[in-house]
Structure 1
Amino acid sequence: MSVAIPSRPTLRFGRIAPTLPVTDIDRALAFYVDVLGFTKTFENGTPVGFVILKKDAAELHLSLHPAHKPSTQNLAHLLVDDATALHDHLDQAGIRIIKSLRDADYGLRGFVFADQDGNRIDVGQRL
């Protein structure tokens, strides 16, 4: 059985940003702003339950989910210009490194870390 695929409309995609569930917005902001250097550009709710963060070309959304349980899957992929420097910075800050820094045969140097809520972020640098 084959499925007919309708023609795709011609359209331009805009930004796409991952939304990470967090159990404590203030704690998450302390990490993403103070440790990683993001800037909060938007917040919503009283108390705040959603924020948008930006750093350079990266955008990240944080959403309050008090019952959040961490996943074993990577929830975001972050391309950087120096994966070694970020790895060393996070390691010195006591952030949990899930997968060690390595050069992969597909052309990226990378590692995986987890934020305080266990959200895994895969970091890569093009070689």
Structure 2
Amino acid sequence: MTDIADHGVRFGRIAAMLPVKDMAKAEAFYTDVLGFKKVFENGSPVGFMILKRDAGELHLTLQPTYKAPAFNVAHMMVDDVDALHAACQNYGLRIIKRLQDKDYGLRAFVFADPDGNRIDVGQPI
């Protein structure tokens, strides 16, 4: 087996793809609450959207019958996990794992977005 690194292949962006049942509701949450900006959308009605904030990027895909899994689908690193935790609580999101300092060097919590997607959020301690 050949190691792809031996061939000089470089990877560019890799973004989380989040299935959503209602694109407008998901867009409102990620833009109004988390501060992302829409940079691309496709379809009529919109079936795909790219959101960006700082170095973070999320791709939303419309899946009207989506049922969220019981595991984390994305991980976000932020520079103020306490502020993001407070914003999630103020919005009324379900907190799956409480905010705490982890023995692996992160202050972290897990929340479920309006579609039930579990997102792990961390900040280096």
1:76-115 alignment, distance < 5 Å? 76-115=74-113
1:30 aligns with 2:33: no
* Sequence identity percentage: 61
Say which one has the larger Rg.
1
Q: TM-score, normalised by structure 1?
A: 0.94
Shift of 1:12: 1.2
Q: Match for 2:2 among 2, 6, 13?
A: 6
Q: Which has the higher helix share?
A: 2
Shift of 1:54: 0.2
* Letter matched to residue 71 of structure 1: P
1:116 aligns with 2:108: no
What stretches of structure 1 of length at least 5 have no aligned partner?
none
Shift of 1:7: 3.3
When the two chains are superposed, the root-mean-square deviation of aligned CA atoms in Å is 0.7
Equivalent residue of 1:47, what SS? coil
What stretches of structure 2 of length at least 5 have no aligned partner?
none
Q: Which runs of at least 4 in structure 1 moved beyond 6 Å after TM superposition? A: none
Shift of 1:88: 1.0
